[in-house]
A and B are shown apart, each in its own frame.
Chain A
């Protein structure tokens, strides 16, 4: 073993048995085992056991899937059970405000992401409904950024960062959780130096997709949006603001 290298631990041995070590660590463990014949032969036995278990998994593979486990069947049962539960869930998430806004703006379209209507219409609707000088979008102020980050990450079931745009001259003001047409979402609002607001809108995607930065104007609102596979983002603001495009290019280029 190289002097100063991390000592070999039992976790290394386990990962060695499972063939899951990174190559350089693999070499270190091999060198270590070469000097420990007893442990080495024990490890070989464990590897053989693992192989046997892997093969045995096939033995254990049960007979063909019964009809009761087909998703169509499970879904039918679920539809019957859960009709009422959905109403309560929606209320619990507090999505009435946006639901109403979407309902008015997009009659009969809110349930499915549709290719027929312009992308990120929901973001524009949310921006119109919440962002602006009145600050209705701010459920959680900038002073509680850590809490907001936790809330939104819980809401979206994955880590969502609240970007710092102070380098562009934009001061983070706060944010809120939203429900979008595709799943849980949220909005972060930033103050422009001259007093306007821009918003970063983020939502989970019902069907994962990737798309590079694109933009459109919707009346007085400019929207720049992109899709990362798991999430959809939009930066929104006044059509006359130079910050919308700047922030969007900055954010969509970030790793």
Chain B
């Protein structure tokens, strides 16, 4: 019933789905459970998807919707993924972009309000179009754009704040 091409196309998205789920659930097991539920729904609703180009956005939409309806957002008191990332994957020496540690970027990202963080992640990390983000998060595109704008400002000030702190510590 589901062709092998479709399976491959879905499985190709699993790493991105897990990434997004981790950012929403902030707990490894919850995140993978969220991905599992997403795949389950995707298989049930496979026939609703008619545009191969949007498989990614379609899966993200299912996942985000499940996240919201299941109230999985355990927010700040749980382990932040960025902390996990720091422990699991220490920055290799080459991982600097214009002097910015990537783990700093992730940790600053995790401090953004969820709406802003989701918009920025989907655009900058997952390459969804603005229209797709609007669809996934079920808000008008204008809202996506303003969340994106606020997310960038906020991320910048988080980063500038943390740079200042580190600089002071070094002295």
Smallest Cβ-Cβ distance to B7: which chain A residue: A71
Considering the complex, which residues of chain B in the window 109-142 have a beta carbon less than 8 Å from any beta carbon of chain A?
A: 109, 120-121, 123-126, 129-130, 142
Q: In the complex the two chains form, what is the Cα distance from A81 to B109 in whole Å?
A: 38
Given A42-B156, A60-B19, A230-B51, 12 new contacts (CB under 8 A)? A14-B149, A53-B105, A53-B125, A54-B124, A55-B95, A57-B126, A59-B102, A60-B81, A69-B32, A77-B40, A156-B50, A158-B50
Residues of A within 8 A of B11 (CB): 65, 70-71
Indicate whether B93 reaches chain A with its CB closer than 8 angstroms.
no
Residues of A within 8 A of B125 (CB): 53-54, 56-57, 60
Would you call B100 and A68 a contact (CB within 8 A)?
A: no
Give per-residue flags for A49-68: 1 if the beta carbon is below 8 A from chain B beta carbons, else 0. 11111111101111001101
Indicate whether A165 reaches chain B with its CB closer than 8 angstroms.
no
Would you call A60 and B149 a contact (CB within 8 A)?
A: no
User: Which of B41-49, B60-68, B70-78 contacts the other chain?
Assistant: B41-49
Would you call A74 and B152 a contact (CB within 8 A)?
A: no
Q: In the complex the two chains form, what is the Cα distance from A216 to B77 in whole Å?
A: 66
Given contacts A53-B124, A65-B15, A78-B44, A48 and B145 within 8 Å (CB-CB): no
Indicate whether A174 reaches chain B with its CB closer than 8 angstroms.
no
Smallest Cβ-Cβ distance to B99: which chain A residue: A48
Considering the complex, which residues of chain B in the window 19-64 have a beta carbon less than 8 Å from any beta carbon of chain A?
A: 19, 22-23, 32, 35-36, 39-40, 43-44, 47-52
Would you call B50 and A60 a contact (CB within 8 A)?
A: no
Which B residues fall within an 8 A CB radius of A?
A: 1-3, 5, 7, 10-11, 14-15, 18-19, 22-23, 32, 35-36, 39-40, 43-44, 47-52, 81, 85, 89, 91, 95, 97-98, 100, 102-103, 105-106, 109, 120-121, 123-126, 129-130, 142, 145-146, 148-149, 152, 155-156, 159
Q: Name 22 interchain pairs, CB-CB below 8 A, sorted by A.
A: A11-B145, A15-B130, A18-B123, A20-B130, A42-B156, A49-B105, A49-B124, A49-B152, A52-B98, A52-B102, A52-B105, A53-B109, A53-B124, A60-B19, A60-B125, A65-B14, A68-B36, A71-B7, A71-B10, A156-B50, A157-B48, A157-B50
Residues of A within 8 A of B156 (CB): 42, 45-46, 49
Would you call B85 and A59 a contact (CB within 8 A)?
A: yes
Smallest Cβ-Cβ distance to A112: which chain B residue: B1
Q: What total of chain A residues lie within 8 Å of the partner, measured CB to CB?
A: 50
Q: In the complex the two chains form, what is the Cα distance from A112 to B1 in whole Å?
A: 7
Would you call A62 and B50 a contact (CB within 8 A)?
A: no
Q: In the complex the two chains form, what is the Cα distance from A65 to B18 in whole Å?
A: 9
Q: Which of B40, B52, B149 contacts A208 (CB under 8 A)?
A: B52
Would you call B39 and A71 a contact (CB within 8 A)?
A: yes
Would you call B95 and A82 a contact (CB within 8 A)?
A: no
Residues of A within 8 A of B121 (CB): 53
